[in-house]
Amino acid sequence: MSKDERFRQKKQEWEAGTLKKVIDRSPERKAEFTTGSWLPSERVALPESGDFDDYNEKIGFPGEYPFTRGVQPTMYRGRFWTMRQYAGFGTAEESNERYKYLLNQGQTGLSIAFDLPTQIGYDSDDPHAEGEIGKVGVAIDTIKDMEILFDGIPMDKVSTSMTINAPAAVLLAMYIAVAEKQGVPRSKLIGTIQNDILKEYMARGTYIFPPKPSLRLITNIFEYCSAEVPKWNTISISGYHIREAGSTAVQEVAFTLADGIEYVNAALKVGMDIDSFAGRLSFFFNAHSDLLEEVAKFRAARRIWAKIMKEKFHAQKPKSMMLRFHTQTAGSTLTAQQPDNNIVRVAIQTLAAVMGGTQSLHTNSRDEALSLPTEESVRIALRTQQIVAHESGITNTVDPLAGSFYVENLTDKIEKEVWNYLNKIEGMGGMVHAIENGYVQKEIQDAAYRYQQEVERAERIIVGVNKFTIKENAPGGLLKVNPKLQEIQVEKLSRIKKQRNSDIVQNRLSALGVAAKDPDKNLMPFILDAVKDYASLGEICNVLRAEFGEYQESIVL
Amino acid sequence: MQELARRVIKGDIRGIAKAISLVEDGVETVKKEALIDSLYPHCGHAIIWGITGPPGAGKSSLLDRLIEQLRQDKQKVAVIAVDPSSPFTGGAILGDRLRMQKHAVDDAVFIRSMASRGHLGGVAGATGDAIKIFDAAGYDHIIIETIGVGQTEIEVMELSDIVLLVLVPGLGDEIQALKAGVMEIGDIFIINKKDHDGADRLRTEVEYVLSLKNGAENTTEHPITMTSATLNEGIAEAYSIIQSYYTTILKNGNLAKKRKNRIENELKHIALSKIKESVDKFLNIDDRLDSWVEDVFQKKVSPYKLLNKKINKFLQEIDWK
Amino acid sequence: MNKNIRILIAKPGLDGHDRGAKYVARALKDAGYEVIYTGIRQTPEAIVKTAIQEDVDFVGLSLLSGAHNELFPRIVNLLREKGAGDIIVFGGGVIPESDIPSLKEKGIRAIFTPGTPIKDITDFIETVK
Ligand SMILES: Nc1nc2c(ncn2[C@@H]2O[C@H](COP(=O)(O)OP(=O)(O)O)[C@@H](O)[C@H]2O)c(=O)[nH]1
Ligand SMILES: [Mg+2]
């Protein structure tokens, strides 16, 4: 059989198998796809000639192992990615309004930002919360706030992503409880919790407990959801913040996948079957401005994860081997200088995410380097995605950059360097040890330092910052958090604490404390009971702090 | 007595901090010596610990845990944490404190970071004087964390009553380090990161090396203990071993011997540096060096001849008894 | 030997974005200063006690969560209460231009927003030390 013939034959097999299965279930957006000037767009362009075995092993067909070309056979010809803008600030009431606005503007999913006290498990009346309430997201103290947040939003229809890690179990419990009040059963809930503690230790900083009990909470959630909330994505293993902290693209992938390996190991250790949870693992990456490197990064990440799942963990289901991911454009690349330039940066990064095959995307607003984004900026950011989706034409074909000598070469290079890191981390006894030794943080820090030095020396040009600068006036029209917010939130909390039945709350909390002592108990049901009776987030976390202790930063300078 | 000394003795935090800067900067010699002179009668109550071991072994993390133990016993603790200064820029990042920062708001814990400022020996030049300041200020325990570069850190031995040597598995060069004589520094051996593979093996190795040493000289017992600073395991045991070690050396007279030895070293050190200073000043070496170099270069005189002449003159002029 | 300048780089508030703080710490070390770094999530009380114990000349605060209007002045006031008002406080992070005048009025001597070259910071230190 000639080489070309083998390509053709394999394509036919793929069309009759993988593709047909999907198209029968969900047809493509249009009967016919063309370029802007009516040339036909191929669904999956293939090499005309060349080494078939090499192609098939490394690149393959979309929707098939090793998933280099994407996790679905039709990709955006079937359905666009989910356009999901991270939002939330101030009180639950204000955030609720913003969500309704975004849904009206054609956004297809919600993404909730919590304020820092919530993320670290402090109530609004805790001294640690001073000055931070409602600043980077919405403040949630009790289930009451969650009820307000979702008032008038159909929880059976929207998919909700919550950026919450250390206290993820508590917020998930609140979400479930509020949905049930709306009459939506938990089995119908769609969404994601970030729930990725390891990257908090190395890059983002909103940790509470040490690794061991944290991993227990995570596996508790895995087990609980696989039985009770089957459509929920139980974790979003995040490289985004690692990259924001200054890592390279290679480090972003390597450390994220190493985290993934650690979570899988934790779940296997408590006796879960790999194929029972692997399909619900999702990932979250950063899209930077080096367009082609980023595309290569996403493709390499998919290929490596597939290999890990198949060869290391012996997963059977293809779904278990698919790296599905959310992307956000790179906040750290946005400049306070000439903020409108940021629109262009975000557009390039959007192209990177889409050509890299993302499943959902948040585009940053141009004024994020200055303060909370205004409604207008958020709209432009969303429009950027819509323009790429509807006007750019890159959504008419699957994995448009496959076969580019440069991109394939970069994909291979990134893969090789990622494996080097993965092997090194394995040699250290896994990611928890690598983090506790400060190794990972040091690697990131060194890359960040190098980058910044290049910027300082103008060896790396940032337009508007170290070249093409202008004199600027301070920007106007920025959104500010209501300064009375702290008072309002504290007042609300104290009212609830007075109204609730405090004996029941105490019972719920002590039951949770007792359960926490027994490592074989799943804590989710205890937390759910506690939130339903209006125990606050801080109270629940304090019970767990007393049992588990608190994590101490392990960076090495 | 100076105002500053009075503040130190009263335990005034800012006063102590300023006093340490004074001895550290070493610019105002007279003032510095007067300060130490007036503090000296108030010294001698504190127990001085040294903690040494390779960088990254977990010295600071372990200290953080040991401070918790000391605080449960209501002890006042001062820490002097030394990190290296860059030989090129003189700058330093003092990062030990980061691991103990939860004690920052505890008024009975004083943590002071020190850059080595070119001093060799694992501590800073001012560490000895800083110990006196803390001692006079009423701290029950003063703990010195060394830079952690290995065998050159004997100075910590001279400064402290008890030296904890922290070792960890997985550095690859453990046995080399043991052979190279780092072991001589430690009174108590702490194998940290026992949560890592290889900790038990390291313990066996340390026991072996110690048995060789003890066989030869039959000196004091050197306890070995294992900890995990991050998991907070083995800390109470380590603490009680340290306590009983202290009781032992207090009773058998080794503590007094050590302290006298320390004073001996200190006196020698001060004597030498004072003499050097006076000679430098008398001979005005800085200004004259160039012309001496020229003379020796031109073979007008040999180095010994030149200097013997100068030094003899110096010795005649001072009232040497 | 002479007087070395000591600088505390601290992160008050709850945000964990320490990229900038760590960069500044390292760059100041390279510029020849002695830098003490506290790590993230420090309370104003801890920062002030640390500054006093370490007898620093400067405290550099980094904050990205937006709580600067509350926390920066708290730290300056606490230093003054403890008789350490001579320690010079500067700040950095995501701080809107419009907040800067009032922060300066409250005793924060300089604010460095993202993109500031490190030389601006060292120039500031050398002029006011
Ligand atoms: N796994 C583990 N890591 C530790 C332990 N003790 C310290 N570390 C980590 O080792 C690194 C170095 O610790 P540090 O206390 O700074 O060491 P030092 O340089 O000897 O002071 C840090 O990242 C700590 O978190 C331990 O017992 N187990
Ligand atoms: Mg240390």
Question: What is the Å distance from ligand 1's center to A10 Cα?
Answer: 53
pLDDT band at B181, cuts 50/70/90?
low
Ligand 1 nearest atom to the CA of residue A433, by list position: 1
Tell me what the pLDDT averaged over chain C comes to: 94
Closest CA to A69 of A137, A118, A9, A18: A18
> Are the CB atoms for A186 and A180 separated by under 8 Å?
yes
CA-based nearest residue to A519, from A267, A216, A266, A265: A216
Q: How far is B232 from chain A (nearest CA, A)?
A: 10
- β-pair partners for A232: A191
Output the pLDDT for position B176. Answer: 63
Cβ neighbours for B186, distance < 8 A, ≥ 6 positions apart: B52, B163, B164, B165, B222
With respect to residue B160, please indicate whether it lies within any of the assigned structural domains. Answer: yes
State whether B41 and B129 are in the same domain: yes
Closest-CA residue of chain C to B18: C55
* Helical axes A168-181 vs A537-548, angle rounded to 10°: 150
Burial class of A405 by CB neighbour count within 10 A (0 to 12, 13 to 18, 19+): exposed
Q: Does B209 lie in the same domain as B291?
A: no
Residues with CB in 5 Å of ion ligand 2: B 59-60, 96
d(CA A130, nearest CA chain C) in Å: 8
Of A127, A204, A478, the CB nearest to C96: A478
Is B175's pLDDT higher than 70?
A: no
- Domain with residue C112: its CATH number is 3.40.50.280
C35 Cα to chain A: minimum distance (Å): 11
Indicate whether B286 and B182 sit together in one domain: no
**Ligand nearest, relative to CA of residue B99:** 1
CB contact under 8 A, A245 and C19: yes
Cα dist from A45 to A72, A108, A457, whole Å: 15, 29, 43
Give SS3 for B48: strand
Q: Bridge-partner residues for A85, per DSSP? A: A110
Residues B13 and B152 placed together within one structural domain of the fold: yes
Do the chains contact at A552 and B99, CB–CB below 8 Å? yes
Domain stop point among B252, B286, B308: B252
pLDDT of the residue at A418: 98
pLDDT, residue C1, reads 43
How confident is the model over B297-315, as a mean pLDDT? 88
Ligand 1 pocket check for B232: Cβ under 6 Å? no
What share of chain A has pLDDT > 90, as a percent?
84
- Cα of C14 to nearest chain A Cα, Å: 6
| Nearest residue (CA) to ligand 1, atom 7 | B58
Residue range(s) defining the domain that contains residue C58:
6-128
**Taking Cα atoms as reference points, which of B223, B246, B226 lies closest to residue B70?**
B246
The whole-angstrom separation of Cα A198 and Cα A431 is 8
First to last CA, chain C: 18
**CA–centroid distance, residue A524 to ligand 1 (Å):** 32
- Angstrom distances, CA of residue A392 to CA of A77, A340, A395, B82: 13, 21, 7, 59
- Chain C residues near any Cβ of chain B (below 8 Å): 1-4, 25-26, 28-39, 42-43, 45-46, 49-50, 52-55, 82-84
Instruction: Give Rg (Cα) of chain A.
Output: 24
Judged by CB atoms closer than 8 Å, whether chains meet at B104 and C31 is answered as no
CA A24 – CA A18 distance, rounded (Å): 10
Q: Strands A109-112 and B47-52, how do they pair?
A: unpaired
Least confidently predicted of A198-202, A301-305, B317-321:
B317-321
- Asked if the model's pLDDT at residue A341 lies above 60, the reply is yes
User: Sorting pLDDT into bands at 50, 70 and 90, what band is B97?
Assistant: very high
Beta strands A190-193 and A232-233: pairing type? parallel
Residue B257 domain-assigned (yes or no): no
The number of distinct structural domains making up chain B is: 2
Out of B95, B230, B232, name the one closest to residue A557 (CB). B95
With cut-offs at 50, 70 and 90, classify the pLDDT of residue A501.
very high
Q: In terms of pLDDT, which residue wins out, B319 or A487? A: A487
User: Which tokens is A309 given?
Assistant: 């799942």
Task: Kindly indicate the confidence band of residue B217, based on its pLDDT and cuts at 50, 70 and 90.
Answer: low
Percent of residues, chain B, with pLDDT higher than 70: 92
Mutate to test the interface with A, among B230, B231, B232 (most CBs of A within 10 A): B230
**A395 neighbors A403 (Cβ within 8 angstroms):** no
User: How much helix, strand and coil, in percent to the nearest 5, is found in chain B?
Assistant: 55, 15, 30
Interface test with B, best of A214, A215, A435, A436 (most B CBs within 10 A): A436
| B287 plus B219 within the same structural domain | no
Instruction: Give the mutation candidate from B67, B96, B97, B98 for the A interface (greatest A CB count, under 10 A).
Output: B98
| pLDDT, tens digit (0-9, with 9 covering 90-100), for A235-258 | 999 999 999 999 999 999 999 999
Mean pLDDT of chain A: 94
Interface of C with A in 31-50 (CB under 8 A): 37, 39-41, 43
Lowest mean pLDDT across A523-532, B165-174, B275-284: B165-174
A73 three-state secondary structure: coil
CB A244 within 8 A of CB A330: yes
Over the stretch C62-102, which tens digit does the pLDDT of each residue have? 999 889 999 999 999 999 999 999 999 999 998 888 899 99
Averaged over A265-283, what is the pLDDT? 95
Taking the C-alpha atoms of residue A372 and residue C94, their distance in angstroms, rounded to an integer, is 10
Q: Residue B294: which domain range?
A: 267-316
Task: Give the residues across from A326 on adjacent strands.
Answer: A284, A360
At residue A468, the pLDDT reads 95
Assigned domain for C1 exists: no
Which residue, chain included where needed, has tokens 């105490």? A506
> Residue A33 pLDDT more than 80?
yes
Candidate from A429, A437, A553 with C-beta closest to B56: A437
Which CATH number applies to A75-79+151-167+193-456: 3.20.20.240, 3.30.470.30, 3.30.530.20, 3.40.50.2000?
A: 3.20.20.240
SS3 label, residue B152: coil
| Cross-strand pairs, B39 | none
Whole-number percent of chain B with pLDDT over 90: 65
Is residue C90 included in any domain, yes or no? yes
Tell me the pLDDT band of B278, cut-offs 50, 70 and 90.
confident
Give C54's contacts in chain B (Cβ within 8 Å): 17, 94, 97, 112-113
Please judge whether B197 and A557 are an interchain contact, meaning their C-beta atoms are less than 8 angstroms apart: no
> A437 C-alpha to center of ligand 1: Å?
6
Alpha carbon of B193 to ligand 1 centroid (Å):
7
Q: Is B52 in the pocket of ligand 1 (CB under 6 A)?
A: no
User: What CATH number should be reported for the domain holding residue B154?
Assistant: 3.40.50.300
Residue B91 contacts C, CB cutoff 8 Å: yes
C-alpha dihedral sign at A297, A299, A305, A310: negative
Residue B95 above 80 pLDDT? yes
- Averaged over C103-112, what is the pLDDT? 97
Q: How confident is the model at residue A87 (pLDDT cuts 50, 70, 90)?
A: confident
Asked if the structure places residue B258 within a domain, the reply is no
Cβ of B94 within 8 Å of Cβ of C34? The answer is yes
Spell out which residues of chain C touch residue B97, defining contact as CB-CB under 8 Å: 36-38, 50, 54
Residue environment code for A318-332, b if the CB has 16+ CB neighbours within 10 A, otherwise e: bebbbbbbbbbbbbb
* Rounded average pLDDT over B107-119: 95
**Residues A48-57: what's their mean pLDDT?**
88
Cα within 13 Å of Cα(A227), Cβ side: 9
Q: Is A430 in the pocket of ligand 1 (CB under 6 A)?
A: no
Query: C11 CA distance to ligand 1 centroid (A)?
Result: 21
Q: Which pLDDT tens digit goes with each residue over A439-453? A: 999 999 999 999 999
Window 2-31 of B: residues touching C by CB (8 A cutoff) are 13-14, 16-18, 20-21, 25-27
Residue with tokens 């095959």: A357
Mean pLDDT check: name the lowest of A474-478, B3-7, B241-245: A474-478
Number of Cβ within 10 Å of residue C67's Cβ equals 25
Rounded-to-integer distance, Cα A2 and Cα B26, Å: 84
Mutate to test the interface with C, among A119, A122, A132 (most CBs of C within 10 A): A132
Whether ligand 1 lies within 6 angstroms of the CB of A181 is answered as: no
ipTM: 0.95
- pLDDT confidence of C115, banded at 50, 70, 90? confident
Distance from the CA of A141 to the center of ligand 1, in angstroms? 35
What angle do helix axes B303-317 and B254-283 make, rounded to 10 degrees?
Answer: 100
CA–CA dist A497, A495 (Å, integer): 5
Residue C75 belongs to some domain of the structure: yes
pLDDT at A91: 82
By mean pLDDT, which of A386-400, B301-315, C69-83 is the weakest? Answer: B301-315
Q: Do A210 and B231 touch (CB under 8 A)?
A: yes
* Domain count of the fold of chain C: 1
How is residue A375 annotated by DSSP? H
Q: Is the CB of B103 under 6 A from ligand 1?
A: no
Closest CA relative to residue A448, chosen from A244, A287, A188: A244
Structure tokens at A359: 């499943």
- Its pTM stands at 0.93
B145 and B285 fall within a common domain:
no
| pLDDT score of A258 | 98
Tell whether B321 is covered by a domain: no
Q: Band of the pLDDT at C45, cuts 50, 70, 90?
A: very high
- How deeply is A184 buried, as exposed, middle or buried, from its count of CB atoms within 10 A (0-12, 13-18, 19+)? middle
What are phi and psi for residue A275, nearest 5 degrees?
A: -75, -10
Q: What share of chain A is helix, strand, coil (3-state, %, to 5)?
A: 55, 10, 40
B101 C-alpha to ligand 1 centroid (Å): 14
